[in-house]
Structure 1
Amino acid sequence: MSKYTNHVRLTLDGHTSPERIEMRWAPPAHEDTAPATAPAPLAKDAVREAVEVLARAETVFFALLDVIGPGEHTLVCTTCTEDGLRTGTFHLFTDDSERASCEESEALGFWATIASGFVPGSKGAVIVRTMVPDTVDSVRAWTVDAARRWLMPCTAEEVRDGYRQARREGEHDPEPDLIYRHAESLPVEQSL
C-alpha cells in the first residue's frame, strides 16, 4: 500500500469541471509526530489527467458490464503499478431482462483498480467467472492495456494457460470442470 492516503475519490465526488478540483495527497497521521503542512495543490494538467483516467475507467467498466451477459459473476481486476499490486473484486448478478444487482462500494473499488492499470508502466488483467444455474462455471479474461486505456480480450487458450501457471505457483487448485471461454471484444472505444 502506498505511504500516502488517496483522497481522489472524495475530492472528485460532485465535481464535473477539472478546473474546480483541488486534489491533495497527505501522509498518514502519526501520533508521535507534529502535523505536516498541507502539500501544494497539483498542477491543473495533473488534475485533468486524473479526471480523464477515471472517466476512461468508467467507460471501460460499463462496456465490460454490457458484454458479460446473464448469470452470477465474480469479476477480479489485478494491476501491478509502481505503488505495488492492487486487486479489486466485484460481484454482480444479471438476468435476461438486463437488470443487474451489485454493491456500489464494490463497483467503485473495482473501477478504481481498472484506472490504476491505465497509469503508464502498469499492467494488469480482469478475470470474470460466471455461474449460471445447472451449468458448469466458466471463466474469461481481458488484459489491461495502459497505452490504449482499454481492456483487450484474451482467447480461451490464454485464459487456460494463465490458470495452469497459477496452479503451478500454488495459487489455485485444479478445477477439471471449469470452462475457459474467449473474452468478447468490448464495444468500440471512444477517445478522450
Structure 2
Amino acid sequence: MSEYQDHVRQTLDGMHPDPGDDLSMDQMRWAAAPASDAVPDEATTAAVAEAHALLDHATDAYLALVDLLEDGDHRVVATASTPQGVLTECQELTVIGDAVVLDEAEALRVTVTVAAAMVACSTGSVVVRTSAPNGVESARGWAVRHGWLRPLRAPEIRQAYTVDTETGAPLDPPPSLEFRQAERVPRREADGSDENASRTAPPDNRPPNRRN
C-alpha cells in the first residue's frame, strides 16, 4: 500500500486532520475522531471496508489518468453529482518527463471527488485543460461511468465548454482552445498488474510519483 493510500485510510479509520495543521500530505498530523456508540461495530467495520475499497479504486483511476498526461501544465477539475449535492475540486499539476509536480492535498481532494462520483446514484466527470510547452492550449474529459473513467469525444468536451450548465444558454468557446478526444484510462488487472506498463519505474510511491 502506498503512502498516499495510507493517508487516505487514516482518514477513513475514524481519524481526521487537526484543523490547525498544514494539510500537505507529508506534514499531515492526525487526531482521533470522537468516539460514537450510535453504530454497531459490525456495521462500522463493513462501512469502513467498503469505503477503503472505493477509495483504492478511485486512487487507481486518478493515478492512471495522471500517468497519461504529457509534458506541460495541467488543470484537473473533478465533479461529482450526488444525492447530497454537487462536489467540485480542482488542482494544478506540472509534468516534466517522468516527474509530476503537484500538491498532495489537492490530489487527495480530487481523488475523493472521483470516489464520490463512483457511488451508486451518483455521476461525475474529470476535465483536464493542458498548456503544452509549445503554447498550445487543449481540453479533454472523461465521464465517470460504471466505476471508471470513460473518455469523452472532442465534440462532447466542446459542448461542456460552450453551454452554460445552469441555464443551457450557448457560450462562446475560449479562444485558441483545442478540444481533444480523451485517451482510454487503463484499468488494473485483478492480480494488481496494469493493462499497460507505466512510463515510470517502481517503487510505487504516489503521489507525487506515478504508479508503477
| Bucket of the pairwise TM-score, normalised by the shorter protein | 0.7 to 0.9
Alignment match, 1:159: 157
Question: What TM-score results when the alignment is normalised by the length of structure 1?
Answer: 0.75
Q: Is the 8 A contact 1:11 1:23 kept in 2?
A: no
Report the CA distance between 1:12 and its aligned residue. Answer: 2.5
1:21-170 equivalences under 5 Å are 22-23=13-14, 38-40=37-39, 41=41, 42-95=43-96, 97-145=97-145, 147=146, 149-166=147-164, 169=168
Q: Is the 8 A contact 2:125 2:142 kept in 1?
A: yes
Tell which has more relative contact order, 1 or 2 (C-alpha 8 A, sep 6+).
Answer: 2
| TM-aligned CA distance change 1:131 to 1:172, over 3 Å | farther
Residue 88 of structure 2 aligns with an amino acid whose one-letter code is T
Q: Is the 8 A contact 2:71 2:133 kept in 1?
A: no
Distance in structure 2 (CA, Å) of the matches to 1:187 and 1:11: 22
Report the CA distance between 1:68 and its aligned residue. Answer: 1.4
Structure 2 segments unaligned to the other structure (5+ residues): 1-5, 16-34, 193-212
Distance in structure 2 (CA, Å) of the matches to 1:69 and 1:172: 28
Residue 9 of structure 2 aligns with an amino acid whose one-letter code is L
Alignment match, 2:183: 184
| TM-aligned CA distance change 1:22 to 1:141, over 3 Å | closer
Report the CA distance between 1:39 and its aligned residue. Answer: 2.7
Q: Is the 8 A contact 2:62 2:111 kept in 1?
A: yes
SS at match of 2:181: coil
Report the CA distance between 1:187 and its aligned residue. Answer: 1.3
| TM-aligned CA distance change 1:136 to 1:10, over 3 Å | closer
Distance in structure 1 (CA, Å) of the matches to 2:133 and 2:85: 37
Q: Is the 8 A contact 2:74 2:130 kept in 1?
A: yes
Structure 1 segments unaligned to the other structure (5+ residues): 1-8, 15-20, 25-35
| TM-aligned CA distance change 1:99 to 1:47, over 3 Å | same
Question: What TM-score results when the alignment is normalised by the length of structure 2?
Answer: 0.68
Greater Cα offset, 104-113 or 42-51 = 42-51
Distance in structure 2 (CA, Å) of the matches to 1:92 and 1:170: 31
Report the CA distance between 1:170 and its aligned residue. Answer: 6.5
Q: 1:98-153 CA deviation, whole Å, 9 max, x = no partner? A: 111111111111111111011101001100000123322100000011x3x11000
Q: 1:22-74 CA deviation, whole Å, 9 max, x = no partner? A: 549xxxxxxxxxxx965324443222111100000110011001111111000
Q: Is the 8 A contact 2:8 2:55 kept in 1?
A: no
Distance in structure 2 (CA, Å) of the matches to 1:115 and 1:56: 8
Distance in structure 2 (CA, Å) of the matches to 1:127 and 1:100: 18
Residue 91 of structure 1 aligns with an amino acid whose one-letter code is E
Residue 159 of structure 2 aligns with an amino acid whose one-letter code is D
Q: Is the 8 A contact 2:82 2:123 kept in 1?
A: yes
SS at match of 1:88: strand
RMSD: 3.0
Alignment match, 1:13: 10
Count of residues in correspondence between the two structures: 166
